[in-house]
Amino acid sequence: MPVQTAQIRAMHWTDIPAVQTLERQLFPVDPWSVETFWSELALVPQTRCYLVATAQDDDAEELLGYGGVFTVGSDADIQTVAVSPQAQGKGIGRLLLHNLLDTARARGCSRVFLEVRSDNHSAVQMYLKDGFEQTGSRKDYYASGVDAIVMRKLIGGTS
Ligand SMILES: CC(C)(COP(=O)(O)OP(=O)(O)OC[C@H]1O[C@@H](n2cnc3c(N)ncnc32)[C@H](O)[C@@H]1OP(=O)(O)O)[C@@H](O)C(=O)NCCC(=O)NCCS
C-alpha cells in the first residue's frame, strides 16, 4: 500500500476493535487494552489526538496504522505510532508521525518527547531520521535488559 493512497483521519470509537487487534499483534508483550483506548479517546480533543491511516479497498476501509499524541502547554508526548506488518516500510509511520507533529505544532507545543524501546531498531531509526535526539535513557524500563530511550524534538518556540 503506497503512502500516496493512505488516508489520515481522526480515530473514532468504532475503530477501537480493529485498532486493538493490531495493537495485540504489534505489541504482544504489553498491548494497550480496549479500556485504555477508550479512556485515551475520552481525552480528545482536550489533551489528546489519535489518528488512523486507512486505505479504501472496494467498499471496505482497511486499517493500515494508528498513532496518538498527548499535548499539554508547550509540551507534547508521542503516545504511540504503529503500522500493520503488511503496510510497514512504505512511509506510513512517517506520515502518521508528521500528522501528529502538525497537531502538536497547531496546539502551540514547542517540544515533543517520546520513549522507545532500545531494541526497537525501526522505530529508533524513524525518530532519529525525523530529527529526534536522544536526551536520556531509563534502564530496564520495559523489561530486564530493555531500556527506554528518551527522545526530544524541538518544533518551534525557544525552549
Ligand atoms: C516503527 C514503525 C511505526 C515504522 O513505520 P513504517 O511505516 O514501517 O516506517 P516508514 O516506512 O514510514 O519509514 C520511516 C523511517 O523509519 C525507519 N525504518 C522503518 N523501517 C525500518 C527498518 N526495518 N529498519 C530500519 N529503519 C527502518 C527508516 O528511517 C525510515 O525512513 P527511510 O525509509 O527514509 O529510511 C513500524 O515499524 C511499526 O509499526 N512497528 C511496530 C510498532 C512499533 O514498534 N511502534 C513504535 C513504538 S515507539
CATH of the domain at 41: 3.40.630.30
Residue 49 falls inside a structural domain: yes
pLDDT tens track, the chain, 159 positions: 667 689 999 999 999 999 999 999 999 999 999 999 999 999 999 999 999 999 998 889 999 999 999 999 999 999 999 999 999 999 999 999 999 999 999 999 999 999 999 999 999 999 999 999 999 999 999 989 999 999 999 997 544
Contact 92, 65 (CB under 8 A): yes
What element of type H or E holds 133?
strand 133-143
Alpha helices in the chain (DSSP H): 16-26, 34-41, 92-106, 121-129
Residue 146 falls inside a structural domain: no
Q: How many angstroms is it from 41 CA to the middle of ligand 1?
A: 24
Q: How many angstroms is it from 118 CA to the middle of ligand 1?
A: 14
Name the residue with the closest Cα to ligand 1, atom 29. 126
Dig out the grid coordinates for 48 from the structure. Answer: 489528546
- Which of 114, 122, 134, 149 for mutating ligand 1's site (highest number of atoms within 8 Å of CB)? 122
Question: What is the structure's pLDDT at 1?
Answer: 65
Question: What is the structure's pLDDT at 146?
Answer: 92
Give the CA-trace dihedral at 127, 133, 135, 139, to 10 degrees.
40
Question: What is the structure's pLDDT at 159?
Answer: 41
Query: 529526534: which residue's cell?
Result: 132
Residue 157 falls inside a structural domain: no
The whole domain housing 39 covers: 3-110
Give yes or no for a cis peptide into 45 (omega within 30° of 0).
yes
Residue 42 falls inside a structural domain: yes
Contact 133, 113 (CB under 8 A): no
Residue 16 falls inside a structural domain: yes
Question: What is the structure's pLDDT at 156?
Answer: 79
Question: What is the structure's pLDDT at 158?
Answer: 44
> Which atom of ligand 1 approaches the CA of 88 most closely?
8
Considering the entire predicted model, what is its pTM? 0.95
Contact 150, 135 (CB under 8 A): yes
Domain count, the chain: 1
Ligand 1, pocket residues at CB < 6 Å: 26, 81-83, 88-94, 116, 120-123, 125-126, 129
Residue 7 falls inside a structural domain: yes
Dig out the grid coordinates for 130 from the structure. Answer: 525525523
Residue 105 falls inside a structural domain: yes
